[in-house]
């Protein structure tokens, strides 16, 4: 057999580093630098995700709060509309009550007033309603014709009322307060106010 020479034996590296030989150990500075860079990057990413989550949570909470307030506003608006309708109905009923109260309290005999007024109404003039308000009587009605003719007819009618012995002495003023054409028809709507005077009503 051939002898193997010692110098022919090739030395092989150990399978693990020899910690006793410092020169053979890897450079730990590079490892530490990479570790810290990765750690800082992960920390910054975690902080960014955390603040992003907080912002999204606040945005979601704010949106929910806004929706809740909008719902409350809609409920309050509906309640306010209901209160307004109720208030209007109350005012209308109050006005009717006051009109009835004034009608009862007036010393003007309504039946006598109507009997005296009826013969004075000229042709082409229709009375639609009368309101007795204590100190005055409001007559509303319609009249045929154009504005000029209607104005002349109503002026003559006012003069007739003023000169009527059963009406004139009981009112301090009898005047036309409104004359407007009705857009839906060929008539004109008018309003006449008979203002009472306590001194004259006592006669």
CATH of the domain at 129: 3.30.1360.100
Residue 132 lies in a domain: yes
Along the 203 residues of the chain, how does pLDDT read in single tens digits? 455 455 544 455 555 555 565 555 555 555 567 667 777 888 888 888 888 888 888 888 888 888 888 888 888 888 888 888 888 888 878 776 776 666 556 666 778 888 888 899 988 889 988 887 767 889 999 998 888 888 999 999 999 999 999 888 888 899 999 999 887 777 899 999 998 866 444 44
**What span, in angstroms and rounded, lies between the C-alpha atoms of 144 and 185?**
10
pLDDT of residue 202: 41
| Number of folded domains that form the chain | 2
State the distance between the two ends of the chain, measured CA to CA, in whole angstroms.
168
Question: Rg of the Cα trace of the chain?
Answer: 52
Domain boundary, last residue among 70, 105, 140: 105
117 shares its domain with 68: no
- Domain boundary (44, 77, 105) is at 105
Instruction: Give the H or E element holding residue 189.
Output: strand 188-196
Same domain, 85 and 143: no
Among 82, 105, 128, residue at a domain's last position: 105
Beta carbons of 102 and 134 less than 8 angstroms apart = yes
Residue-level pLDDT at 203: 41
Exposure of 192 by Cβ count < 10 A (0-12 exposed, 13-18 middle, 19+ buried)? Answer: buried
């Amino acid at each position: 057999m051939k002898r193997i020479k010692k110098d022919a034996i090739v030395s092989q590296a150990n399978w693990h580093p020899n910690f006793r030989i410092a020169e053979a150990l890897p450079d730990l500075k590079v490892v530490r630098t990479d570790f810290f860079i990765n750690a800082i990057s992960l920390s910054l990413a975690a902080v960014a995700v955390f603040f992003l989550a907080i912002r999204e949570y606040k945005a979601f909470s704010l949106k929910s709060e806004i929706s809740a307030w909008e719902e409350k506003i809609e409920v309050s608006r509906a309640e306010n509309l209901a209160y307004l309708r109720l208030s209007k109905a109350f005012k209308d009923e109050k006005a009717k009550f006051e009109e009835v109260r004034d009608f009862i309290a007036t010393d003007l005999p309504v039946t006598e007033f109507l009997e005296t007024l009826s013969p004075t109404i000229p042709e082409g003039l229709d009375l639609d309603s009368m309101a007795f308000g204590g100190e005055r009587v409001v007559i509303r009605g319609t009249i045929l014709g154009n504005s000029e003719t209607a104005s002349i007819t109503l002026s003559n009618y006012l003069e007739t009322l003023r000169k009527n012995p059963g009406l004139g002495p009981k009112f301090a003023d009898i005047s036309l307060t409104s004359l407007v054409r009705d857009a839906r028809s060929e008539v004109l709507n008018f309003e006449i106010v008979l203002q009472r005077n306590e001194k004259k009503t006592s006669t």
